Amino acid sequence: MEVMADDYDTRELLRPLVFRLHENVPEIVREVLLERGWTEFDKEEQDDADWNLYWRNSPFRMTDHHSIKPWQRLNHYPEAVRITRKDYLARHLKRMKGAYGSALYEFSPVAFIMPNDYVKFIAEYSKERQSIGRRPSYWICKPVDLSRGRGILIFQDIKDLVYDCTVIVQKYISNPLLISGYKLDLRLYVCVTSFCPLTIYTYEEGLVRFATEKFDLGSLDNICAHLTNTSINKCGASYEKYKEGIGCGCKWTFSKFRSYLRIFGIDDVLLWQKINNIVILTLLAVTPLPVASNCFELFGFDILIDDKFKPWLLEVNYNPGLCLDCSIDDTVKRKLLHDIVELLNYKQIDTFRRNQVAGTKTGRRRVPWSTAGQGAAEEAPGLLTRRKVAKCPSASSVQPALQAARESIRKVATLTKKSARVHPRKTLTSQLRERMNMPKIPSQAEAKNKQLPGTGHSPHKSAQLNHWLPTPNFCNYKLTTRPYFLSDKDQRPIPRVGGFVLIFPFNEAALQASRDGTDVKSIIKEIKKLVSKQLPSKEQNTKKRVGYLTSV
């Protein structure tokens, strides 16, 4: 068959999206992207910037962030570890408690970082022991940078506390919600598509993880009764066994758990609202992070619910586990990954990588048209792919789309050129603004005049500016498209994508307070209003219900 010149143009412009995986990335990530018709990056064959998504288990170098191209996304935000290391998280939450009151920030169990807080811990421990009529607390000791339940110890008597690395000693929630006598916690997936402006999505499906032995405070060293980590329980003797009320294995989906709660008259919507508040308040505690564009972070929030239906934050995971241990994992995680790709909002423009790669190396292969997968059409509505083109009655019918595509490339190129001409020499402020990809920040005097009476000075804003110090590299950092997570229509974050629900910004005031830097104080004010509206319509008779749940 003869290839027409226009068809050739189509092949050159419309190529499949390309993913790049670093070592040890779970296989399911590759599977999902291939299912969607993406192709894998080949370092030997392709240009360095000829990819759309780079996924790795460890943080990227700042140079990776600075050299990001508009069509690319990275799966980590710089310094996200500030919230995922147990001691950092404890410190941030403590600071927020001090600044904004314990009423709002009392969702994380009291914690001490050892050995630094040893004296404070002893004081608290002794105070409890001396108060008559008070049952002494149980404590859990966790190494700060380990995961999967490794190195954890639960104790009541200080003589049992031993550690040989930095640990946090946290109050052990000794009255967890039990189903048929088994302890459980929730693995909630949270995707932050931007820290500036703060944009948070929670995934409505998730995993309920059960301990596989019955909860018993009399046997604190039975890890299968006290820890809900799958890595521990899947090796336990009861994992495969049918457990009354729970079933085999150690997992449920959120959907199953929520229907279960509803059967017993528990207001699961209220519970989820409280959990969403925890997510927002926790992420606010680590803002500002250094400004970076076109990256996202998938966090795993571990939430424990007590027998009064109060949710507690246990920890936040970096790279939440994506291994498939059972069919429930497969259902939840596969769909989660598909929805993440949807959330990344790839557009037609993202297939035009080659045209925009500065200094493209000649002689290198680009992803050829012929390897384009079938699923690419589903990546983003309107993305013109081989399948779509093939379905078209004639090449001429793709002309308007192609024309529009070429036009947008031309516009981007012209804009970039223009801005280079308009600002031949960059001032420090203009560079900062460019890097922040934000409108001009008012000068101090302007800001003072603008400040509402009574709002005072926000320490967070000035702290944020300290992070925006120019680096030699950031002049290369040009954002030629607007942020990927915004909807086309009104330039606001897309409210829902697949199973992802936007939880922040949750109203107009929160949106405004997160636009020019994060105004934590104003956001907290809005959250307080929200919380007061979220009070339960009727008091739940928790005691009676817990009785039902535990005996089922």
Interacting residue ranges for ligand ADP, rule: CB under 6 A? 109, 140, 142, 146-150, 152, 170, 172-173, 185, 227-229, 302, 304, 314-315
Residue 300 or 373: which CB sits closer to ligand ADP? 300
Q: Rounded to whole angstroms, how far apart are CA atoms 92 and 84? A: 11
- From residue 160, how far is each of 126, 154, 157, 220, 451 by CA, in Å? 15, 9, 6, 11, 54
User: CB 241 → ligand ADP: shortest distance, Å?
Assistant: 20
Residue 137 or 355: which CB sits closer to ligand ADP? 137
Among 343, 358, 491, 492, CA closest to 413: 358
User: CB 83 → ligand ADP: shortest distance, Å?
Assistant: 13
- Residue 177: strand, helix, or coil: coil
Q: Do 160 and 153 contact (CB within 8 A), yes or no? A: yes
- From residue 55, how far is each of 19, 228, 461, 465 by CA, in Å? 8, 28, 31, 29
User: CB 161 → ligand ADP: shortest distance, Å?
Assistant: 15
User: CB 154 → ligand ADP: shortest distance, Å?
Assistant: 8
DSSP 238-300: TSSS-BTTTBSSSEEEHHHHHHHHHHTT--HHHHHHHHHHHHHHHHHHTPPPPP-SSB-EEEE
User: CB 275 → ligand ADP: shortest distance, Å?
Assistant: 15
Q: Rounded to whole angstroms, how far apart are CA atoms 85 and 83? A: 6
Q: Rounded to whole angstroms, how far apart are CA atoms 543 and 552? A: 15
Residue 148 or 411: which CB sits closer to ligand ADP? 148
Phi-psi region of 426 (alpha: psi -120 to 50; beta: other; left: phi over 0): beta
For residues 119, 123, 126 and 130, what is the CA-based torsion angle, rounded to 10 degrees? 160
Q: Which helix (H) or strand (E) holds 195?
A: strand 182-195
User: CB 172 → ligand ADP: shortest distance, Å?
Assistant: 4
Residue 209 or 386: which CB sits closer to ligand ADP? 209
Residue 175 or 471: which CB sits closer to ligand ADP? 175
Phi, psi of 185 (to 5 degrees): -140, 170
User: CB 184 → ligand ADP: shortest distance, Å?
Assistant: 8
Residue 149 or 483: which CB sits closer to ligand ADP? 149
User: CB 206 → ligand ADP: shortest distance, Å?
Assistant: 14
Residue 150 or 417: which CB sits closer to ligand ADP? 150
Q: Rounded to whole angstroms, how far apart are CA atoms 301 and 283? A: 11
Residue with tokens 């009354």: 244
Residue 173 or 266: which CB sits closer to ligand ADP? 173
Q: Rounded to whole angstroms, how far apart are CA atoms 217 and 545? A: 21
User: CB 118 → ligand ADP: shortest distance, Å?
Assistant: 19
User: CB 519 → ligand ADP: shortest distance, Å?
Assistant: 31
**Contact partners, residue 85, CB within 8 Å, separation at least 6:** 144, 145
Residue 146 or 235: which CB sits closer to ligand ADP? 146
Residue 170 or 293: which CB sits closer to ligand ADP? 170
Q: Rounded to whole angstroms, how far apart are CA atoms 146 and 238? A: 25
- From residue 320, how far is each of 236, 386, 456 by CA, in Å? 22, 34, 39
